[in-house]
Amino acid sequence: MISDTFHPDQGAALAALIRCYENGGKVLLCGNGGSAADCGHIAGELLKGFLKKRPVSAELIAAVPEAAGLQCGLPAIDLTAHAAAITAVANDLGGELAYAQQVLAYGRPGDVLIGISTSGNARNVDIALRTAKALGMVTIGLSGRSGGKMRGTCDILLNVDADETYLIQEKHLPLYHALCAGVEEHFFKE
């Protein structure tokens, strides 16, 4: 098991993710640049096996024999990956609304939005987080030391003790790996 001692609010973030999934919810993710890449990484760890194989049910395999190669997953949507939607919103509504528009379309009360911004001040992430809160979603932020605007917006802020972008990103990786491992451990006991 990956250590879960990276941040004092990590337990709260893990509990929020577990509660979301226990209630049939999903996780949405947004960020820019390297943080966008982290969004895809997190979604990938949740959508299929991370540290465990997560076998599918015998009933599914009986219906679709090829499904024996699949792994159970948890719904996670990387909002940075939808080029057609992002460019349509940027062209028609304004680039700063690209994530908020997707949050409005996909988000439901009890879902979680994870917003990643090394400065904590990315405008498009901030608008998405505020939209999520207005919809009754739980907001989790990953940022650098100060937390920026995220400090006042997120229900749970996982700010790391670094100020330079690359160092912040390096500290985010073990933090979100620990969250993914914790969620997987909860739902996929062997």
Domains of the chain: 10-187 (3.40.50.10490)
φ, ψ for residue 188 (rounded to 5)?
A: -125, 65
As a dihedral over the C-alpha atoms of residue 172, residue 177, residue 182, residue 183, rounded to 10 degrees, the angle is: 100
Contact 158, 7 (CB under 8 A): yes
Tokens of 54: 């997560």
Residue 3 has a pLDDT of 54
Q: What is the enclosing helix (H) or strand (E) of 29?
A: strand 27-31
Residue 74 has a pLDDT of 98
Residues β-bridged to residue 143: 159
The reported pTM is: 0.95
- Using 50 as the pLDDT threshold, list the residues of the chain that sit under it: 1
Burial class for 102, CB neighbours closer than 10 Å (0-12, 13-18, 19+)? buried
Contact 180, 48 (CB under 8 A): no
Residue 6 has a pLDDT of 72
138 alpha carbon, distance to own chain's centre? 11
Residue 2 has a pLDDT of 57
For the segment 40-87, what is each residue's pLDDT rounded down to a tens digit?
999 999 999 999 999 999 999 999 999 999 999 999 999 999 999 999
